[in-house]
Amino acid sequence: MSIVRFEILSKVIELGSFTKAAEKLSMTQSAVSHAISSLETEWGVTLLIRDRRKGIALTEIGQKTLPHIREVLKRIETINQEIALATNLETGIIRIGTFASASSCLLAKLLAKFQKKHPKIEFKFYEGTYEEITEWLQSGIIDIGFVVKGKTNPSFDLVPLWKDKMVVAFHPEHKFLHKETIDMHDLEKEPFIMPTGMYQSHIEELFKEAQIKPSIRFEVHDCTTIANMVQEGLGVTIGPELFLKTQQNIKIGKLNLTSYRDVALACSAISEASPAVKEFLVVAKNVFIEPNNTIDSQILFN
């Protein structure tokens, strides 16, 4: 049984294409197809459904075996990293799931610090929603992911990073500009741009606590589009300070009701993570967690 065939199958499923997998692995498409066919022949089962119109899909047995295949590949990666550490050589890859504001405001700072100490470690990034990142962690597609407490699997090990305050965003010439604190009731008659998706639940909880209903003019999914609409004076919005403070030509103000989303790094099990992943979490702890924050640092080193 060849580990290489496991890598090929995992890559085909990840990219959803024999052609893309072949390009990524620097192989011919026929070699990729042959590798999977030979694995199916060896096991006596069909792992993939090949449909020209619908594309590639896993069979029932394929769905059952893929998580185990990914776990084997992760174990091999861990072995290689342990050997590299023992011989004073650094190697390995860290697969990280992230969402937009975490990528721009937290990940860059963390990577800069980590790469100074470990320049040979490679990274692969997957950007998605809270739900997608949780699914990727559970299925083994990623090693660690940026998550929000309460919006992910409670069984994951977490390293808390940032308490991201929810704030109001408005046009620079809006009347809110001169308010030190904006009351939730001041938003009741304002044309409101409601984000749909990741942090919508945080906003809905604020309006529920204030016992008012927003005057929703637009419902928009993309964060950057929302910021652009605020820039054009089409309405006001509520969102995470981490993202909104980076946007040009808009102003932000604090609310009379305090709400945070707690951003953390999640791992399915830190104790079973590769040396590179453990070290990444240690660096994250040192970069973001204040000395008076309590965290069981012992778990990061065992």
pLDDT of 299 reads 35
pLDDT of 301 reads 33
pLDDT of 298 reads 35
Q: Has residue 297 got a pLDDT over 50?
A: no
Q: Has residue 146 got a pLDDT over 90?
A: yes
Read off the pLDDT of residues 113-122 as tens digits, 9 standing for 90 and up. 998 888 888 8
Q: Is 88 left (phi over 0), alpha (psi -120 to 50) or beta?
A: left
Q: What is the dihedral of CA 127, 144, 86, 118, to 10 degrees?
A: 50
Tokens of 229: 């609409």
Average pLDDT, rounded, for the chain = 86
Q: Is the model more confident about 293 or about 151?
A: 151
Read off the pLDDT of residues 90-109 as tens digits, 9 standing for 90 and up. 778 899 999 878 887 889 88
Q: Is the model more confident about 186 or about 103?
A: 186
Give the pTM.
0.66
pLDDT of 11 reads 87
pLDDT of 88 reads 57
**What residues contact residue 79 under an 8 Å CB cut-off, 6+ apart?**
none
SS3 at position 159: strand
pLDDT of 81 reads 75
